[in-house]
Amino acid sequence: MQFWKNAKQGGSRRKSENAIAASATPPHGTAGISPEALVRALVASVADGTTATADGLRGLSADELDEIERDQPAPLGAAYACFLRLVGGGAGHFFQGSDVFYPHVIGLREAADELLRENQEPFHLRSSDRVIFMHQGYQFEFLRGEGPDPEVWTYSEGDAEPSRVYIRFTDWLEANVRQQREAWARLVPWYEAEQQKPSDERRVYFNRHHPDGSVTDEL
């Protein structure tokens, strides 16, 4: 189930959610905190019992992390590498419906390059850019720059060019944690209430489409 559901014509998910712009300031109270420490704190807050549970945070092994690193020419960056170690295998509802986690993160650079070719864009990703997110095949986000906490840029079909949306990966992560915690806090109780109704009284269904083509009623 994809909870943000915006059409291609409506612009990027980032723009539609009024995300923090590139001039964003660090999250309140984080001055002097290392990027890795901030990632650990943000990941811990995802396990709120609704967005995810503590046992639903799936980190990656050293071999899986190496596979992701080898998949693209750009470095991982300390903050992003920490994120992968902690929840690179998934985190409950967090980022549900988008390609962020292993193994779906493998091949994102190739998919992004293909999208740019299909749209005959004049620009190309740099060898130092690392694609970390793809949504429904028409939008992707990537790290740009060196250092432990690089910038996050986004491109969506219809954009004239990619744009910088966060000056730090940790800003990107903090915004997504906040947005999705708020969204799932509304959606999960709503879904559970609908499940309790007799079938002839239900008005809302959440259908999950599985790789084998089957569909189940679940959030």
Q: Over the stretch 42-89, which tens digit does the pLDDT of each residue have?
A: 999 999 999 999 999 999 999 999 999 999 999 999 999 999 999 999
Name every residue whose Cβ is closer than 8 Å to that of residue 150 and which is 6 or more positions away in sequence. Answer: 77, 79, 80, 143, 144, 168, 169
> What angle do helix axes 169-195 and 78-87 make, rounded to 10 degrees?
30
Q: Is residue 71 within 8 Å of residue 109, measured between CB atoms? A: yes
Q: Please list the helix, strand and coil fractions of the chain in percent, rounded to the nearest 5, in that order.
A: 35, 15, 50
Ordered alpha helix ranges (H), 88-154: 108-118
Instruction: State residue 196's pLDDT score.
Output: 66
Local structure of 133: helix, strand or coil: strand
Q: Long-range contact list for 85-90, CB < 8 A, 24+ apart? A: 85/59, 85/60, 86/39, 86/40, 86/43, 86/57, 86/59, 87/43, 87/46, 87/57, 87/58, 87/59, 88/58, 88/59, 88/60, 88/64, 89/58, 89/59, 89/60, 89/64, 90/56, 90/58
Q: Per-residue pLDDT for the chain (219 aa), expressed as one digit of tens each?
A: 333 333 333 444 444 343 433 333 345 445 678 999 999 999 999 999 999 999 999 999 999 999 999 999 999 999 999 999 999 999 999 998 899 999 999 999 999 999 999 999 999 999 999 999 999 899 999 999 989 999 999 999 989 899 999 999 999 999 999 999 998 888 766 666 666 667 666 566 655 554 556 655 555
Burial class of 163 by CB neighbour count within 10 A (0 to 12, 13 to 18, 19+): middle
The CA–CA distances, whole Å, from 139 to 94, 97, 125 equal 18, 13, 14
Instruction: State residue 35's pLDDT score.
Output: 96
Report the C-alpha gap between 124 and 117 in whole angstroms: 9
Instruction: State residue 77's pLDDT score.
Output: 93
Q: Name the phi and psi angles at 154, rounded to 5.
A: -135, 150
